[in-house]
């Protein structure tokens, strides 16, 4: 009986990890499709904020506008200046909007 329970536990663990892998793949492709274009309007490196005039953000259902985004790492702001064309992935975290994968537009 104990063996059977162990076998069931093992199957659950395997099923669980298969689910995580499938989930991770989904997140990756969603991110690839979510890259948005923008122009830098203002940079506030001390507060890790950047104002972007962005195009449509399909992944979070937002129309084009100018707004402030937070960045997670000041290094993402290095080398950028007002007027630069950039691309980024917009993410909503609670009431905050975060610009990730921020980089000069190709
Ligand atoms: Cu916006």
Q: Are residues 48 and 87 in the same domain?
A: yes
pTM, two decimal places: 0.69
* Mean pLDDT within 28-35: 63
State the distance from the centre of ligand 1 to the C-alpha of 23, rounded, in angstroms: 27
Sign of the alpha-carbon dihedral angle for 54, 59, 98, 73:
negative
- 38 C-alpha vs ligand 1 centroid, how far in Å? 10
What's the 53 CA to ligand 1 centre distance in angstroms? 8
Q: Do both 2 and 52 map to the same domain?
A: no
Q: Are 98 and 51 in contact (CB under 8 A)?
A: no
Distance 20 CA to ligand 1 centre (A): 31
Per residue in 63-102, pLDDT (tens digit) is 999 999 999 999 999 999 999 999 999 999 999 999 999 9
Q: Are 57 and 90 in contact (CB under 8 A)?
A: yes
Going from the Cα of 72 to the center of ligand 1, the distance in angstroms, rounded, reads 18
* 57 and 93 inside one domain: yes
Which structural domain range is residue 67 located in? Answer: 35-104
What per-residue confidence (pLDDT) applies to 43?
Answer: 98
> How many structural domains compose the chain?
2
With a CB cutoff of 8 Å and minimum separation 6, the contacts of 24 are none
| Res 37 pLDDT > 80 | yes
pLDDT at 12: 47
- Which of the 8 DSSP states describes residue 62? B
């Amino acid at each position: 009986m104990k063996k059977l329970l162990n076998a069931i536990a093992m199957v659950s663990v395997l099923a669980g990890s298969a689910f995580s892998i499938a989930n991770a793949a989904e997140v990756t492709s969603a991110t690839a499709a979510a890259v948005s274009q923008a122009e830098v309007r203002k940079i506030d490196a001390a507060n890790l904020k950047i104002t972007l005039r962005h195009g449509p953000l399909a992944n979070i259902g937002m129309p084009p506008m100018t707004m402030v985004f937070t960045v997670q790492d000041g290094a993402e702001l290095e080398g950028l200046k007002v007027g630069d064309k950039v691309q980024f992935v917009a993410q909503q975290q609670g009431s905050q909007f975060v610009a990730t994968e921020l980089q000069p537009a190709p």
